[in-house]
Amino acid sequence: AMLMAQYDLRTLLTDARIEFILDQLRTNASAAPNDTGPLLLLAFVHYNTNAPTRAREFLERAAQIDPNDTTAKTMLDHWPTNATSSK
């Protein structure tokens, strides 16, 4: 249920902290290209910082890596990621 809600992470974290988190997740995703975890977390952060288009890109990559994992598909089905992004 927590994944289905949308939060405003920018009210909880500074921009610098969000960028640090994104950088760490990108590094983790590059280091483990077959691990969907960092991609799902990247999608979560982008979705919750008003960047739904970027969120969709990461969800689609995760779904390609592991088509049997229902998490990315569920997020794609329930998140409105077709909206115009500010990022």
Segment 12-57, tens digit of pLDDT: 999 999 999 999 999 999 999 999 999 999 999 999 999 999 999 9
- pLDDT tier at 87, thresholds 50, 70, 90: very low
Q: Which residues contact 75 (CB under 8 A, 6 or more apart)?
A: 3, 40, 43, 47, 59
Number of residues in the chain = 87
Checking if the pLDDT of 10 tops 50, the result is yes
Checking if the pLDDT of 85 tops 60, the result is no
User: pTM for the full model?
Assistant: 0.86
Place of tokens 């969800």: 59
